[in-house]
Structure 1
Amino acid sequence: MRANVRIMLKSGVLDPQGKAIGNALAGLGFEGVGEVRQGKLIVLDLAETDAAKARESVDAMCRRLLANTVIESYSIDLEG
Protein backbone atom coordinates (compact mmCIF):
# COMPACT_ATOMS: atom_id res chain seq x y z
CA MET A 1 0.00 0.00 0.00
CA ARG A 2 1.19 3.52 -0.75
CA ALA A 3 0.45 6.59 1.37
CA ASN A 4 0.72 10.13 0.03
CA VAL A 5 1.06 12.65 2.84
CA ARG A 6 0.51 16.31 1.92
CA ILE A 7 1.81 18.80 4.47
CA MET A 8 0.99 22.51 4.30
CA LEU A 9 1.46 25.46 6.60
CA LYS A 10 -1.77 26.33 8.37
CA SER A 11 -3.59 29.42 7.16
CA GLY A 12 -2.36 32.48 9.00
CA VAL A 13 1.20 31.15 9.23
CA LEU A 14 3.61 33.20 7.14
CA ASP A 15 5.02 31.31 4.15
CA PRO A 16 8.25 33.06 3.05
CA GLN A 17 9.11 30.32 0.56
CA GLY A 18 5.67 30.63 -1.06
CA LYS A 19 6.13 34.40 -1.21
CA ALA A 20 9.52 33.97 -2.90
CA ILE A 21 8.00 31.59 -5.46
CA GLY A 22 5.20 34.08 -6.14
CA ASN A 23 7.72 36.91 -6.63
CA ALA A 24 9.84 34.77 -8.97
CA LEU A 25 6.79 33.86 -11.07
CA ALA A 26 5.87 37.55 -11.36
CA GLY A 27 9.47 38.35 -12.30
CA LEU A 28 9.28 35.78 -15.09
CA GLY A 29 6.20 37.49 -16.49
CA PHE A 30 3.48 35.13 -15.24
CA GLU A 31 0.43 37.27 -14.57
CA GLY A 32 -2.69 36.56 -12.57
CA VAL A 33 -1.04 34.44 -9.86
CA GLY A 34 -2.43 35.28 -6.43
CA GLU A 35 -1.11 34.00 -3.14
CA VAL A 36 1.34 31.11 -3.39
CA ARG A 37 1.62 28.54 -0.59
CA GLN A 38 4.38 25.95 -0.62
CA GLY A 39 4.13 22.51 0.96
CA LYS A 40 5.61 19.02 1.05
CA LEU A 41 4.56 15.67 -0.40
CA ILE A 42 5.89 12.56 1.32
CA VAL A 43 5.28 9.20 -0.36
CA LEU A 44 5.48 6.11 1.84
CA ASP A 45 5.41 2.51 0.61
CA LEU A 46 3.84 0.44 3.37
CA ALA A 47 3.78 -3.30 3.97
CA GLU A 48 0.37 -2.96 5.68
CA THR A 49 -2.57 -4.14 3.55
CA ASP A 50 -5.41 -3.09 5.86
CA ALA A 51 -6.39 0.49 4.97
CA ALA A 52 -7.61 1.41 8.46
CA LYS A 53 -4.40 0.17 10.10
CA ALA A 54 -2.28 1.89 7.45
CA ARG A 55 -4.08 5.21 7.96
CA GLU A 56 -3.71 4.92 11.75
CA SER A 57 0.01 4.19 11.40
CA VAL A 58 0.65 7.05 8.96
CA ASP A 59 -1.36 9.42 11.14
CA ALA A 60 0.91 8.52 14.07
CA MET A 61 3.98 9.11 11.86
CA CYS A 62 2.66 12.56 10.96
CA ARG A 63 1.91 13.53 14.55
CA ARG A 64 5.27 12.28 15.86
CA LEU A 65 7.69 13.21 13.08
CA LEU A 66 6.52 14.20 9.62
CA ALA A 67 4.47 17.32 10.42
CA ASN A 68 4.87 20.10 12.95
CA THR A 69 1.22 20.12 13.98
CA VAL A 70 1.58 23.49 15.71
CA ILE A 71 2.04 25.27 12.37
CA GLU A 72 1.29 22.59 9.74
CA SER A 73 -1.74 20.58 8.70
CA TYR A 74 -1.58 17.29 6.80
CA SER A 75 -3.77 15.02 4.73
CA ILE A 76 -3.31 11.35 3.97
CA ASP A 77 -4.32 9.59 0.74
CA LEU A 78 -3.96 5.84 0.51
CA GLU A 79 -3.52 3.89 -2.74
CA GLY A 80 -3.67 0.19 -3.32
Structure 2
Amino acid sequence: MYKAKVYVTLRPSILDPKGKATHHALQNLGLNDIKQVRIGKYIEVDVDAKDETEARSIVETACTKLLANEVMEDFEIELEQ
Protein backbone atom coordinates (compact mmCIF):
# COMPACT_ATOMS: atom_id res chain seq x y z
CA MET A 1 0.00 0.00 0.00
CA TYR A 2 1.30 3.44 -0.95
CA LYS A 3 0.18 6.92 0.01
CA ALA A 4 0.50 9.45 -2.78
CA LYS A 5 0.62 13.15 -2.02
CA VAL A 6 -0.37 15.09 -5.11
CA TYR A 7 0.27 18.82 -5.44
CA VAL A 8 -1.65 20.50 -8.27
CA THR A 9 -0.71 24.07 -9.18
CA LEU A 10 -1.64 26.46 -11.93
CA ARG A 11 0.99 26.86 -14.62
CA PRO A 12 2.94 30.12 -14.27
CA SER A 13 1.39 31.55 -17.45
CA ILE A 14 -2.18 31.11 -16.09
CA LEU A 15 -3.76 33.98 -14.16
CA ASP A 16 -4.77 33.06 -10.59
CA PRO A 17 -7.71 35.23 -9.44
CA LYS A 18 -7.99 33.37 -6.09
CA GLY A 19 -4.31 33.93 -5.44
CA LYS A 20 -4.58 37.60 -6.41
CA ALA A 21 -7.59 38.12 -4.09
CA THR A 22 -5.78 36.34 -1.24
CA HIS A 23 -2.67 38.45 -1.83
CA HIS A 24 -4.76 41.61 -1.69
CA ALA A 25 -6.43 40.46 1.57
CA LEU A 26 -3.03 39.71 3.12
CA GLN A 27 -1.81 43.19 2.18
CA ASN A 28 -4.93 44.64 3.86
CA LEU A 29 -3.84 42.77 7.00
CA GLY A 30 -0.49 44.54 6.86
CA LEU A 31 1.49 41.57 5.50
CA ASN A 32 3.22 43.63 2.82
CA ASP A 33 6.32 41.42 2.70
CA ILE A 34 4.32 38.75 0.85
CA LYS A 35 4.83 39.53 -2.83
CA GLN A 36 2.75 36.86 -4.57
CA VAL A 37 0.20 34.17 -3.73
CA ARG A 38 -0.75 31.22 -5.95
CA ILE A 39 -3.54 28.86 -4.89
CA GLY A 40 -3.37 25.13 -5.66
CA LYS A 41 -4.76 21.79 -4.52
CA TYR A 42 -3.36 19.10 -2.25
CA ILE A 43 -4.75 15.59 -2.70
CA GLU A 44 -3.92 12.37 -0.80
CA VAL A 45 -4.52 9.05 -2.53
CA ASP A 46 -4.05 5.56 -1.04
CA VAL A 47 -2.96 3.13 -3.75
CA ASP A 48 -2.79 -0.66 -3.57
CA ALA A 49 0.12 -1.52 -5.87
CA LYS A 50 2.86 -4.14 -5.94
CA ASP A 51 5.70 -1.60 -6.22
CA GLU A 52 6.47 2.10 -6.39
CA THR A 53 6.59 2.17 -10.18
CA GLU A 54 3.07 0.75 -10.47
CA ALA A 55 1.77 3.09 -7.75
CA ARG A 56 3.24 6.13 -9.52
CA SER A 57 1.76 5.03 -12.83
CA ILE A 58 -1.71 4.64 -11.28
CA VAL A 59 -1.56 8.07 -9.65
CA GLU A 60 -0.23 9.73 -12.82
CA THR A 61 -3.18 8.25 -14.72
CA ALA A 62 -5.58 9.60 -12.08
CA CYS A 63 -3.98 13.03 -12.39
CA THR A 64 -4.10 13.18 -16.17
CA LYS A 65 -7.66 11.85 -16.39
CA LEU A 66 -9.32 13.68 -13.48
CA LEU A 67 -7.30 15.34 -10.73
CA ALA A 68 -5.45 17.94 -12.82
CA ASN A 69 -6.33 19.89 -15.93
CA GLU A 70 -3.14 19.45 -17.95
CA VAL A 71 -3.92 22.47 -20.12
CA MET A 72 -3.77 24.82 -17.12
CA GLU A 73 -2.20 22.89 -14.25
CA ASP A 74 0.97 21.04 -13.35
CA PHE A 75 1.14 18.27 -10.77
CA GLU A 76 3.81 16.74 -8.57
CA ILE A 77 3.57 13.36 -6.87
CA GLU A 78 5.28 12.20 -3.67
CA LEU A 79 4.97 8.54 -2.71
CA GLU A 80 5.30 6.91 0.72
CA GLN A 81 5.05 3.21 1.43
TM over 0.5, yes or no? yes
**Residues 1-80 of structure 1: pairs in structure 2 closer than 5 A:** 1-80=2-81
Which consecutive aligned stretches of 4+ in structure 1 deviate over 2 angstroms post-superposition?
A: none
Shift, 1:5, TM fit: 0.5
Structure 1: which 5+ runs fail to align?
none
Structure 2: which 5+ runs fail to align?
none
TM-score computed with the length of structure 2 as normaliser: 0.94
Deviation track 1:30-76 (CA, whole Å, cap 9, x = no partner) reads: 12111111100000111224100000010000000000000000000
Q: Give percent identity, aligned residues only.
A: 41
Alpha-carbon distance in structure 1 between the residues aligned to 2:10 and 2:50: 30
Number of equivalent positions: 80
